[in-house]
Structure 1
Amino acid sequence: MASGFFALLDDISALVKVSAASLDDVPAQVAKTTGKVSGIVIDDTAVTPKYVVGLDPSRELSIIFQIAKKSLINKLLILSPAALLLGYFAPWAITPILMLGGAYLCFEGYEKVHSMFSKSHDVDVESEQVEVITPEELEKQRVAGAVRTDIILSAEIMAIAYSQVTDQPVINQIAVMAAVAVFITIAVYGFVGLIVKADDMGVHLAQDKYHPATQKFGRGIVKFMPHFLSILSYVGTAAMLWVGAEIIAHGIPFTAHLLHDLEEALAHIPIVAWLAKALSCAIGGLMIGFVVEKIVHLGKKVFSKKKEAIG
């Protein structure tokens, strides 16, 4: 009996040692995965600040915290388990789901580009019913919009994270995906927090109690940030189109090969290869967004007619 008990302890000890040795690879796997998703992380960082522009500055960090908290919960409790389950039971479903998310990003990006150039906003205000909402309601709308966009980008991040550990033990898969979720969420929203509060830091540095050079630097930050946020808003819109189209392109063998061939042809000039790929995807994203917008518009018309007929 005693020998059997000690043999069981030896087996448990060996299992623990194997698991520990396997977990030693986790930091390297996390670093590798983070590098793979760096483009999406940049896009996420560029997209988010626009959701706090125009709101009460005292609420900016609170709004970012709300978005970050929901983003982390989605990554840890919804997206990671979903990726693991789909990868085990229905690996074929991951790509179509991501492509639907990519189409949504293209649709959102197209709508923002369309609103920039459309003349429809010049209509007579009296001819439209203007919706008046409170700052609290606007904040809720902004947070909801940010979370909708984030969950698609996060889904792509977690799908890529899963793709890097499919040949690893389950414990490694869980550890890597959890570590990636926490690290990227803190990195993205920590940096976003710095961006949106940079003007406050500039005002603080511009106070008379500091050295003239420091004051000048602070005033420079204050003057520069509105331009920076405006640029970042355009970058965020372009990022939606680029990432959305790239997700879809990678889900279609023909377009995936085209992107690969484009990168290979310009591989000797990496920056040109990156720009060509990004521009191609952004243009493709606009085209996809245009098609999706027409489908959505048609669907709304059909739905409203059916509703009127029933009413």
Structure 2
Amino acid sequence: MGAEKPSGEIVASLEDLMAYEYLVQAGNLLPSHPVYSILAGRHASKLRGRGLDFEEVRQYVPGDDIRNIDWKVTARTGSTHSKVFNEEKERPTFMVIDQTSTMFFGSQRFTKSVIAAQAAALGAFYTIKRGDRVGGLVFSDDEHNIVTPKRSKALVQYFLQLVCTANEKLIHRNRVNVNTARLNEMLDRTLKSVTHDYVVTVVTDLSNHDTETKKLLQRLSYHNDVICIHISDPMDEQLPDGKIILTDAQHQIQWQNDKRSWGTKYKRSSEDFRRTLKDELRRYGVPVVFYTTVDPVEKQVRRDMGQLTSQR
């Protein structure tokens, strides 16, 4: 007899992810709120164009139409600047999907890595439905794949297969690899892969992040719309009462919530992290969506569609 197939709540299957096409086609799964519309890309945005509503002047970025260079500002500042116009038009979407070992965790229903896969499927199919191009970067502890955005269902299937492949490999890992530089390396690769006027969606639990991570997100936001989807588990916010053993397969500790107020401090630390993350990224114009491992992504979107009103 062959090995039993793992549950779709532990490891995502391509069949499960492709089902999101029907969820998206069946109705307006995502609300019309401008923050969520970033997932689809088509909205009033800063785009190159002529004979359109003038929006602003910004520093020239390679790829800008030279016909839109503002020569007066360029002469005054000594650096090349371009005129930017408003137009509702397609925008390429680039999704950064974290499938590192820290994502292979879930205390209730799903693993973080499966929720990230669901978010990738939802965003990809919604983008295609709106007529925009979609691609992205899928990365694990030791591998990554970049897919150039295209307007193609076949490409979406290929992209989601890459997610599933990385997702499935997690079940065979015997230790958690804490590597802060990995996420930063992938964000740096994203900076090299996109130019401007992209929609960049970063899906991660941010277990491995530092000041450099936020700087990279800020740099991405200069000429693109960036949205951060943060995935957490209830045990990231509060550990159960009683004596428990925590381990990363290399080290272990005995934990007890009521010992020296460990539980209270742990919960407060989690709350502070979420608040600080939201406040800091808001300054860069980067909204944060919080997903958990408790419910499938589509249920969380329907339930929390108004959560970002105060962030934009």
For the aligned pair, the TM-score class normalised by the smaller chain equals under 0.3
TM-score, normalised relative to structure 2 = 0.27
Structure with more strand by fraction: 2
Structure with more helix by fraction: 1
> Between Structure 1 and Structure 2, whose CA radius of gyration is higher?
1
TM-score, normalised relative to structure 1 = 0.27
